[in-house]
A and B are shown apart, each in its own frame.
Chain A
Amino acid sequence: MLKTTDLTFQYPGGGPFRFPDLEVTPGKSLLILGESGCGKTTLLHLLAGLLRPASGKVMIDGNDLGAMSSTQGDRFRGQHIGLVYQKAYFVEALSVLDNLLVSPFSLKKERATEVAHRLGIGGLLHKLPARLSVGEQQRASIARAVMNQPKLLLADEPTSALDHRNCSVVIGLLQEAAAANNAALVIVTHDDRLKSEVPDRIELERITAQTVN
Chain B
Amino acid sequence: MIGKIAWKNILHKPLSTALSVSLLMFSVGIITLLLLMQHQLEQKFQNDLRDIDLVVGAKGSPLQLVLSAVYHLDAPTGNIKLAEARTVMENPMVEQAVPLAYGDSYRSYRILGTSEDYFKKYDAQVSEGRLFSKNMEAVLGANVAEASGLNLGETFVGTHGEAAQGHVHDEHPYTVVGVLEKTNTVLDNLVLTNVESVWQVHEEHHHHDDENHLADDPHATRLDFDHDHPDHDHDHDHDHDHSNEVITADSMELTAVLLKYKNRLTMLNMPRIINDQTNMMAVLPALEINRLFYMLGIGATTLKLIAGGIMLMSGFSVFFVLYSRLRERRYELALLRSVGYRPVQLFRLLLLEGLLLTGLGYLLGVILSRLALMLLNQQAASDFHIKFIGNFIAAEGWLFVLTLAVGAIAALLPAWKAMQVDVSTSLSEG
0 or 1 for each of B409-430: is its CB under 8 Å from A? (1 = yes)? 0000000000000011001101
Report Cα–Cα, A41/B9, bound state, in Å: 30
Report Cα–Cα, A105/B2, bound state, in Å: 12
Is chain A's interface secondary structure helix, strand, loop, or mixed overall?
A: loop
Report Cα–Cα, A152/B427, bound state, in Å: 18
Whole-angstrom distance between the Cβ of A199 and the nearest chain B Cβ: 27
Interface size of A by CB at 8 A reads: 34
Instruction: Kindly state whether residue B335 has any CB partner on chain A within 8 Å.
Output: yes
Whole-angstrom distance between the Cβ of A51 and the nearest chain B Cβ: 5
Whole-angstrom distance between the Cβ of B349 and the nearest chain A Cβ: 10
Cross-chain contact A103 with B335 (CB below 8 angstroms): no
Report Cα–Cα, A122/B428, bound state, in Å: 28
Closest residue of A by beta carbon distance from B6: A93
Cross-chain contact B430 with A90 (CB below 8 angstroms): no
Instruction: Kindly state whether residue A78 has any CB partner on chain B within 8 Å.
Output: yes
Please name all residues of chain B whose beta carbon is closer than 8 Å to the beta carbon of A87 when the two chains form the complex: 331, 430
B window 1-28: CB within 8 A of A: 1-2, 4-5, 8-9, 11-12
Cross-chain contact B424 with A45 (CB below 8 angstroms): yes
Segment at the B interface, from A55-63, A69-77, A110-118, A169-177: A69-77
Please name all residues of chain A whose beta carbon is closer than 8 Å to the beta carbon of B4 when the two chains form the complex: 94, 98
Report Cα–Cα, A177/B11, bound state, in Å: 34
Please judge, given known A-B contacts A90-B335, A93-B12, A213-B428, whether A74 and B5 are in contact too, CB under 8 Å. Answer: no
Instruction: Kindly state whether residue B249 has any CB partner on chain A within 8 Å.
Output: no
Closest residue of B by beta carbon distance from A141: B335
B window 323-359: CB within 8 A of A: 329, 331-332, 334-342, 345
Whole-angstrom distance between the Cβ of A44 and the nearest chain B Cβ: 9
Please name all residues of chain B whose beta carbon is closer than 8 Å to the beta carbon of A212 when the two chains form the complex: 428
Cross-chain contact A90 with B332 (CB below 8 angstroms): yes
B window 307-323: CB within 8 A of A: none
Instruction: Kindly state whether residue A8 has any CB partner on chain B within 8 Å.
Output: no
With most chain B CB atoms within 10 A of its CB, the pick from A71, A77, A92, A101 is A92
Whole-angstrom distance between the Cβ of B134 and the nearest chain A Cβ: 78
Whole-angstrom distance between the Cβ of B124 and the nearest chain A Cβ: 61
Which of A50, A75, A103 has a CB less than 8 Å from the CB of B423?
A50
Interchain residue pairs with CB less than 8 A apart (22): A41-B428, A74-B340, A75-B340, A77-B340, A78-B341, A83-B427, A87-B331, A89-B335, A91-B5, A91-B9, A93-B9, A93-B11, A98-B8, A101-B1, A102-B1, A102-B5, A102-B339, A104-B2, A104-B345, A144-B339, A156-B427, A213-B428
